[in-house]
Structure 1
Amino acid sequence: MDIPVRTKSTGLNLTPLIDIVFLLLVFFLLTTQFIEEDGIGVKLPSSNSVTTRDRDEVAIAITKKGDLFVKGQRLPLASLTAKLEQVLGADTTVVVRGDREVALQTLVSVMEKAKEAGAARLVVATLQEGN
């Protein structure tokens, strides 16, 4: 008499694992800060100090030639104060992203205009040394 042998399939149920991976993906996507970079080609100087970015900030890019850009719009230095007064809030940080070859006088002039416009804080953007 032959006894029937039952074989049971032993396999991993991947459904709970896939659910957890999907939830982790959604969690990281929702909690990640999306940093908006301007499309201006500026080679930043390097520095050892590192700080984080503010949510309320306005970036001013200064190219190698000395051209100024605020929110992707090219501006002459004379109209920078008026433009910053329009876009600055009460507690807004102004980030100056100057090319490493820009003249120091241009950088100082931009920072003066930002202070005149009422910037709460001024920051000069740099790359971490070694990058």
Structure 2
Amino acid sequence: MQLDRPARSSKKLIGLTPLIDVVFILLLFFMLTSSFIQWQSLDLMVASGNRGEASDEPPLMLGVRGDGTVFLANEPFSNLEDDRLHELLAPRDRDVTLTPSDATSIQQVVTLLERVETLGARSVSVNTRPLP
């Protein structure tokens, strides 16, 4: 007695397990390389040659050194003295001129710009001539 057996197919089926492994590896790669930082912006305006309002009071001159020390009239100004800085800025709505040293990072300048703006400065300008 002879049995008719179907011929074996030469096609091999692709296993689903390696495909799922590759998908999970790609998912893990994209999750690890994505950044979830919340970007914030700071509005900056380029100063023109003429000013709208002339103030009788001179601007408050703040400086920042490379180690992050903020100073006012060559006296160190602690980060905890926001009340003192607010008293200097708020009642008269003063302008502020910020002078960074050569070793000051951009992040330190931007942090100080935000701090002075939130404490009540009318306008903040950055001096391009660094401190000695």
Alignment TM-score, normalising by the size of structure 2: 0.49
Larger Rg: 2
Alignment TM-score, normalising by the size of structure 1: 0.50
Relative contact order, CA 8 A, sep 6+: which one is greater?
Answer: 1
